[in-house]
C-alpha cells in the first residue's frame, strides 16, 4: 500500500507540474497571437494600412479637413463604398463564371474568350467607380490638399523606377 500511495503522490505532483507547463504554454501562445493580430488583413484595413483594391477610403487625418469637407467626404465614401462593393462583386462573379468554364474541357475557345471579356468589362466598370470616387473627393479638397492627395495616391513610389522600367528608351514617363 505504501508504494501505491507514494506513486500516486508522485503522479499528482507531476500532474501539477504539467498543468503549470500547459498554462505557461497557453500564455505564451496568447501573447504570440495578440502580437500578430494587427498584421491580419481585416485589422490592417481598419487601421488605415494599405488596402490594395479591396475598398474605397483614405486616411484623411493628415489633410486638416474642415468639418464641411469631412462631412462631404464621408458622404462620398459611403456612396461610392457601396458602388465599389457591388462592382467588385460583379468582377468576382464574372471571374468565377470564367474559371468554371475554363475548368470544363468541353468549352470552346470562343466561349472562353467571351467569358473573359465579361470579366474585363466588369473590371473596367469597377475602375470607373474608383476614378469617379477619386474625382468626387478631389473636388472637395483645396488646391493644397489636392496636391498632397495626388502625391499620396500617385506617389506610392515611382513604380517604373522601382521596377527598373526603361522610361528613357520607350519614351514613357
Residue-range domain boundaries for the chain: 2-39, 60-155
Tens-digit pLDDT profile for residues 96-152: 999 999 898 898 999 999 999 999 999 999 999 999 998 998 899 999 888 888 887
Predicted TM-score (pTM) of this structure: 0.54
Tens-digit pLDDT profile for residues 128-138: 999 999 899 88
Domain 60-155 class, CATH top level: mainly alpha
Please say whether the dihedral angle defined by the alpha carbons of residues 65, 71, 74 and 79, taken in this order, is positive or negative. Answer: negative
The 3 state secondary structure assigned to 23-36 is: HHHHHHHHHHHHHH
Please say whether the dihedral angle defined by the alpha carbons of residues 152, 67, 139 and 130, taken in this order, is positive or negative. Answer: positive
Q: Which three cell numbers stand for residue 7?
A: 506513486
Amino acid at each position: 500500500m505504501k508504494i501505491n500511495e507514494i506513486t500516486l503522490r508522485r503522479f499528482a505532483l507531476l500532474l501539477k507540474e504539467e498543468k503549470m507547463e500547459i498554462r505557461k504554454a497557453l500564455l505564451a501562445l496568447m501573447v504570440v497571437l495578440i502580437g500578430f493580430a494587427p498584421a491580419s488583413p481585416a485589422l490592417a484595413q481598419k487601421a488605415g494600412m494599405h488596402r490594395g483594391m479591396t475598398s474605397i477610403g483614405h486616411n484623411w487625418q493628415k489633410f486638416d479637413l474642415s468639418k464641411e469637407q469631412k462631412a462631404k467626404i464621408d458622404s462620398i465614401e459611403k456612396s461610392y463604398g457601396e458602388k465599389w462593393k457591388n462592382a467588385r462583386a460583379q468582377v468576382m462573379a464574372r471571374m468565377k463564371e470564367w474559371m468554371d468554364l475554363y475548368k470544363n474541357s468541353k468549352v470552346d475557345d470562343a466561349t472562353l474568350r467571351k467569358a473573359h471579356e465579361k470579366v474585363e468589362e466588369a473590371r473596367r466598370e469597377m475602375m470607373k467607380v474608383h476614378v469617379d470616387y477619386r474625382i468626387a473627393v478631389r473636388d472637395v479638397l483645396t488646391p493644397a490638399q489636392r496636391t498632397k492627395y495626388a502625391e499620396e495616391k500617385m506617389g506610392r513610389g515611382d513604380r517604373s523606377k522601382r521596377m527598373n522600367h526603361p522610361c528613357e528608351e520607350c519614351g514613357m514617363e
